[in-house]
Structure 1
Amino acid sequence: MPSPFPGMDPYLEHPDFWPEVHHWLITLIAETLVPQVRPKYRVAIEKRIYEINSLGQGGNGNSLLVGIPDVSIHQRAGQPEVATLAADKDSTSQPQTVTLPRSEPVKQAYLEIRDLQTGQVVTAIEILSPVNKRPGEGRTTYIQKRQQVLASLTHLVEIDLLRAWPPMPVLDAAAASDYRVLISNSERRPKADWYAIDLQEPLPTLPIPLLGQNESATLNLQALFDAVYHRSGFDYVVDYSREPSPPLAKPEHEWATALLINKSLRD
């Protein structure tokens, strides 16, 4: 059974589903691109590691740091533990149980199309996740890496299928939309193509720039999303009788409710 929505399914933005959606999209995009770009290019799945601080900014758990957890949180072999000095006098106070902040590693995949002969990164493909979008050090670090790409000869394809949190910055007043895709061809910078996509619309077919002015591959984003929904069996696990997370604004909520009622997925 396909998703009841014509484009992106807002129910899959839920934190329980999004990591799986992200993983499947990265994998299927790579599978789609490989036969189009070989033998000149290689499609590589790369990973970056974020650390989520459980205390976070203001105690909300949203502080995100880029790092390698195994290096930062494990004690070196042979390093002695630091003992706490006890007071000389006796104390009658009883200890209180507290919770210490800890870091949890989160791995996020992205794609690089590389020239097979030179190893040059021709195109970077990013699918944004909460670690990139919500305010904090994670967003700041991603924007810095984004700026490095935009200052290079590497093309950037940035796919944002999350309604929550502010979109990535652009200088022009881009049209407001539920979802968006940015395609920045290095030869056209600072100009770029911005796809503004609303909930009621199907996802677009994207040209993926390569080397040479007329050289590109193609990604049918809607077909890829439909394949993710089918392969993951989301029709068995998504409860459309409840509201999506994050919730929809009033016009979209009314439209989605009518759609789900019409498809017998909501009373």
Structure 2
Amino acid sequence: MPGPFPGMDPYLERPDLWPDVHQRLITYIADTLQPQLRPRYHARIGERLYVIPPQRSVYQDVTVTQRQPVSIPTTSGGTAVLVADTPLVIIAPAEPIREPFIELIDLAQGGQVVTVIEILSPANKTAGEGHDVCQRKQAEVLASDTHLVEVDLLRQGMYTVAVPLPYLTPFRPWHYVVSVSRAGHRGRFEVYLRTIRQRLPRIAIPLRPPDPDVVLDLQAVFDRCYDHGAYADLIDYRANPDIALPADEVGWVDEYLRQQGLREGAV
């Protein structure tokens, strides 16, 4: 069963839900493409691992220790014991991030990677190690003979996809972007822009010329994610989404959810 919105559901951008959505999108995109790719090509799920240092780690069950007494001499020749105040020892381990992506490989060429498909995560769009890793990988692919497909379904965070932002500014408003950069044509981007009111696009995924593109129906994949993830059980559509809506979309979302019977005052 598809979600209540015609395209991307802004409620799924919630930080605690997105990792599950991200994993499902990766899996179902690979599953969807596989029959179109075989027998020459193969969709393979890869994973990169990096560590994000903790920004804030505060725990109630902190470990409290006491330093050993420090002795200092006194002026009378005796000794006085100076005891340090008891500190709170807070152990804040670095957080390992596992980030899946998709590679389309050419079995006829010994498994050479032809296309990389990235689904952006909040870590990719936040200043720090996650963003740096994403940008390094992006630069590496753009400098190679591998096609790059980037899917950004998150409204919050830094602009991250390869197509320069100034080129997209005239087409605002848009909330979600898919960028396709073909090897051999790096100055040319195929871009799909969508708002929360619009269906997600059908994307042309490039392979090795002269083989034709395969088509990824991103909306169909997203609907499958929504259904199999049972996200309707986890979302209260009577409340506003955790990631604030654009001011000019608040009224539309309210009316649309009422029409779907998900808020009081349904019409």
Percent identity between matched residues is: 40
Q: Which structure is larger by alpha-carbon Rg, 1 or 2?
A: 2
Asked if structure 2 preserves the Cα contact closer than 8 Å seen for 1:113 and 1:121, the reply is yes
Q: Does 1:165 align with 2:157?
A: yes
Letter in 2 for 1:173: Y
Q: CA deviation at 1:20?
A: 0.8
Q: CA deviation at 1:196?
A: 1.1
Asked if structure 1 preserves the Cα contact closer than 8 Å seen for 2:70 and 2:84, the reply is no
Q: CA deviation at 1:144?
A: 1.5
Asked if structure 1 preserves the Cα contact closer than 8 Å seen for 2:202 and 2:218, the reply is yes
Say which of 102, 122, 125 aligns to 2:93: 102
Q: CA deviation at 1:236?
A: 1.6
Q: Does 1:147 align with 2:135?
A: no
Say which of 104, 107, 128 aligns to 1:113: 104
1:34-84 deviations in Å (ceiling 9; x for gaps): 111111112110001122222x2xx599xxxxxxxxxxxxxxxxxxxxxx9
1:68-123 deviations in Å (ceiling 9; x for gaps): xxxxxxxxxxxxxxxx9974442234313242332121211000011113221100
Q: Does 1:187 align with 2:184?
A: yes
Asked if structure 2 preserves the Cα contact closer than 8 Å seen for 1:2 and 1:235, the reply is no
Asked if structure 2 preserves the Cα contact closer than 8 Å seen for 1:32 and 1:219, the reply is yes
What is the match of residue 239 of structure 2?
A: 242
Equivalent pairs, count: 242
Asked if structure 2 preserves the Cα contact closer than 8 Å seen for 1:150 and 1:186, the reply is yes
Q: CA RMSD in A?
A: 1.9
Give the structure-1-normalised TM-score.
0.85
Asked if structure 1 preserves the Cα contact closer than 8 Å seen for 2:52 and 2:129, the reply is no
What is the match of residue 67 of structure 1?
A: none
CA separation of 1:92/1:255 partners in 2, compared to 1, >3 Å: closer, same or farther? same
Gaps of 5+ in 1: 62-83
Q: CA deviation at 1:2?
A: 2.6
Say which of 115, 119, 126 aligns to 1:127: 119
Q: Which region of structure 1 is more displaced relative to structure 2, 138-147 or 164-173?
A: 164-173
Letter in 2 for 1:30: A
What is the match of residue 198 of structure 1?
A: 195
Letter in 2 for 1:101: A
Letter in 1 for 2:3: S
Q: CA deviation at 1:179?
A: 0.4
